[in-house]
Structure 1
């Protein structure tokens, strides 16, 4: 009995972590219990018990009328307490502003979180038709958007393969995307050094990775626009501008950590 206790404890932690990720992904509209049970593969009584415990600690809240779950106030407090050796979001602030000013389109900053990409920041340009496919804090399976393609394609081959296999069943939820199409996007990224994808109808996004000295991706920056605005030669001009900004940002990141 005592030998199985650590295993059970680990399983509970994993279930809680998975629940929190799914709530975060649906945070804007709130997550339904039935959807959480399906995606995390938990029986409803188990999921309800865990969510009740999380709510008691302030990690989630349940809307009194819709009964949907959202992240609680403690998550925000914990986020404020997290200070790494360098804060990518803070250091990239002016970079995103300059890119948004130059392109007049929407600029995203994303990082990897296991099998997902998470939006750290977003800047909207002045062009009246905006492509707002992801809110700050929103999550997507790695490979299901331009930034995710950059992050995925910059990982070691074995790690990339594991993520592709894990996410294969999730890709079709995003405009019928397939694992084969993601692999194609990744190969194109590796060949030319930037991602150029059209996933949401009528849109086109280019993205580049921000890398550490060891070549591992730290984050990715993407520019999203209506498809008619992201044609040659403009998309190449945007890529060159973003690349110049990323080179400068990488210098800032690593001079900051020395």
Structure 2
């Protein structure tokens, strides 16, 4: 059986070191504590920093644990459990709305679809579980951007990719829309990723009120919208489903 990979073992040791004792450590402190050459320690720290597991204070130059590691640590909720808790509510939402339902979670620089309920009609549809959707131009993505700082960090500074003439490509415009999403509690997207398609999404939280995913409906603009706006009854259905899933995960306060 092959032995442990040295670079990974050293990276794990650095993370454990930063997790205990002093909150921030300099390069020399990390290297001496683990008996590493400065060049080796710096290379590992830089890689961890690029992955979001470590952050460097711009003034002192010292290192501390990063937001991505914090997010992973707080994600005690397994994706399979999230999906299992959402199954009944997602099916109910599809029946009530007559539209496709997606359940998504933040993954790297996009939204990973972990559950997909087909639109309840006889049209041919393709299962999209495991596919990725953009953060900045989908209802699922905008909900996560509005509530999850890690998602916002993945967005970068732009300009963002344009999929249709309606896609928002300015980070400032996205931030302004996220403020509106937090104020009203839901997101909508009309033809920003796919022409002719509109979607409505809402946040799913766990018992600690952490954002763990989002649920949305997606369908033809003429069905989801009326007079240029998404239908209020569909918004209510999506929000009710998100609340129900969150309650099943232990988030009791709404």
TM-score range relative to shorter protein: 0.5 to 0.7
The Cα offsets for residues 174-213 of structure 1, whole Å up to 9 and x where unpaired, read as: 3354124433432331232111111111111001111234
Distance 1:131 1:188 in 2: 33
Are 2:179 and 1:205 aligned? no
What SS class does the counterpart of residue 117 from structure 1 fall into?
strand
Query: So what's the TM-score if we normalise by structure 1?
Result: 0.60
Of the three residues 199, 215, 230, the one matched with 2:224 is 230
Match of 2:243 in 1: 247
Match of 1:44 in 2: none
Aligned-residue Cα RMSD (Å) equals 3.4
Match of 1:61 in 2: none
The Cα offsets for residues 128-158 of structure 1, whole Å up to 9 and x where unpaired, read as: 56887x92122234223100101111135xx
Query: So what's the TM-score if we normalise by structure 2?
Result: 0.60
Match of 1:148 in 2: 141
Give the C-alpha shift of residue 224 in structure 1.
0.4
Distance 1:224 1:130 in 2: 15
Match of 2:37 in 1: 2
Greater helix share, 1 or 2? Answer: 1
Stretch of structure 1 that moved more, 109-118 or 196-205: 109-118
Question: Number of aligned pairs?
Answer: 186
- Name the CA shift for 1:250/1:160 in 2 (closer, same or farther; >3 Å): closer
Gap regions ≥5 residues in structure 1: 18-81
Decide whether the 8 Å contact of 2:103 with 2:214 is kept in 1: yes
- Name the CA shift for 1:160/1:234 in 2 (closer, same or farther; >3 Å): closer
Distance 1:220 1:115 in 2: 15
Are 2:117 and 1:135 aligned? no
The Cα offsets for residues 91-135 of structure 1, whole Å up to 9 and x where unpaired, read as: 111111111111221100001124422111111112456887x92
Decide whether the 8 Å contact of 1:115 with 1:167 is kept in 2: no
Distance 2:93 2:79 in 1: 25
Gap regions ≥5 residues in structure 2: 1-35, 52-75
Distance 1:177 1:240 in 2: 25
